[in-house]
Amino acid sequence: MKIKWLYDFLALSAEGNFRASAEQRGVSQPAFSRRIRALESWVGVALIDRDSQPSHLTEAGKLFLPAAKKIVDIANASKAEILRQAGENDECIRFATLATLSQIFIPAWLRSLQPFIATNRIIVRTEYGTIADYFVALDKNMVDFFISYLGPNAEYPTDVSSLMALKLGAESLVPVASPNRDGSRRWWLPEVSASPIPCLHKLSDHSPWPIKKHMQETYRDQAFMSVYDSSIGTTLREMAIEGFGLAWLPQTLVCDDLKSGRLVRAAKPADDICVDIMIYRCSKYNDPKVEKIWNIILQQVRGHVAV
């Protein structure tokens, strides 16, 4: 059994979609599927119900899920401790973030930090399944920092007493869809559609993007139908461009598509969802290199460091 198979299984259990999970894990869908089958062969029973859309865990898969999480947590914690004791991790900075942020925010932001970080070893992890899993990784010192979206009135399932947080920036989530052949809009959300609008989101209560709550409050008379599940913004963008449905996507991600006409707005700008980009660290750990970087970030936020 390979530890990467467990990461694959956790990603699939969170996404419920082979294509999105494969993209998140950085492998082709056929390779990803083979690795899931290899895990099932090792366990000796089917873990995934492939007949449903989205894919669901079988009863055996549900039983195996907490064990898989525990094995991964133990492996990561053991590795971190061994590296710490061996002195090989002194200059390594460990970030965790969401897949979308790793693509559209993290690279430029890390570039702005580079002149002030005395290391070339930076790790950015995106494999944790849920927001709660990311905070657990932070709490267990498996990562030094966690960068995430924070929507209005978000309630993350974690003990906040040991968390320190800073706002790095802000983003707007824009409702978009591909246009009709004549360039007109497929849907305009203020106008009630005659049939349910296909939506490219999980519509989860625990998503860092507060889309479900926004839809229920702003478009309570509108009917939506979830047709595709993914938490990866670039995947949702491609699905929207291909005409599969409507998605709320970061303005940063779709600004060029809106200019070119590949995507069009489905509501006025006043209906966009505003979210903050936050960075968290755990105050239980006082690694000098983490403290130094935190102080640099704090100065950036206060405008005392040129970026």
pTM for the full predicted model: 0.69
pLDDT of res. 251: 92
Q: Do 151 and 226 contact (CB within 8 A), yes or no? A: no
Counts of helices then strands in the chain (DSSP H, E): 11, 11
The tokens for 290 are 């983490």
Q: Do domains 1-89 and 90-307 have the same CATH topology?
A: no
Nearest one of 173, 120, 162, 128 to 147, comparing CA atoms = 128
Q: Lowest mean pLDDT of 39-48, 66-75, 157-166, 177-186, name the range.
A: 157-166
**CATH architecture type of domain 1-89:** Orthogonal Bundle (1.10)
Q: For residue 249, with 0-12 CB atoms within 10 Å meaning exposed, 13-18 middle and 19 or more buried, which class applies? A: buried
Name the CATH code of domain 90-307 (choices 3.40.190.290, 3.40.50.300, 3.40.718.10, 1.20.1200.10): 3.40.190.290
Is the torsion defined by CA of 180, 182, 183, 188 positive or negative?
negative
The tokens for 116 are 């002030």
pLDDT of res. 80: 74
Per-residue pLDDT for 33 more than 50? Answer: yes
Q: CB neighbours of 136 closer than 8 A, spacing ≥ 6?
A: 73, 128, 158
pLDDT confidence bin for 203, thresholds 50/70/90 = low
- For the chain, give every domain's residue range: 1-89, 90-307
The tokens for 224 are 């939506």
Helix (H) / strand (E) element for 69: namely: helix 59-86
Q: Do 142 and 73 contact (CB within 8 A), yes or no? A: yes
Q: Do 6 and 35 contact (CB within 8 A), yes or no? A: no
- What does the alpha-carbon distance between residue 218 and residue 224 come to, in Å, rounded to a whole number? 13
With H, G, I as helix, E, B as strand and everything else as coil, classify residue 158.
coil
Q: pLDDT by residue (tens digit) across 101-149?
A: 888 899 998 888 877 776 667 888 888 877 888 888 888 888 999 999 8
The tokens for 218 are 């702003």
Mean pLDDT across 175-183: 91
Q: CB neighbours of 44 closer than 8 A, spacing ≥ 6?
A: none
Which amino acid is it at 163? L
Q: pLDDT by residue (tens digit) across 265-278?
A: 999 999 898 889 99
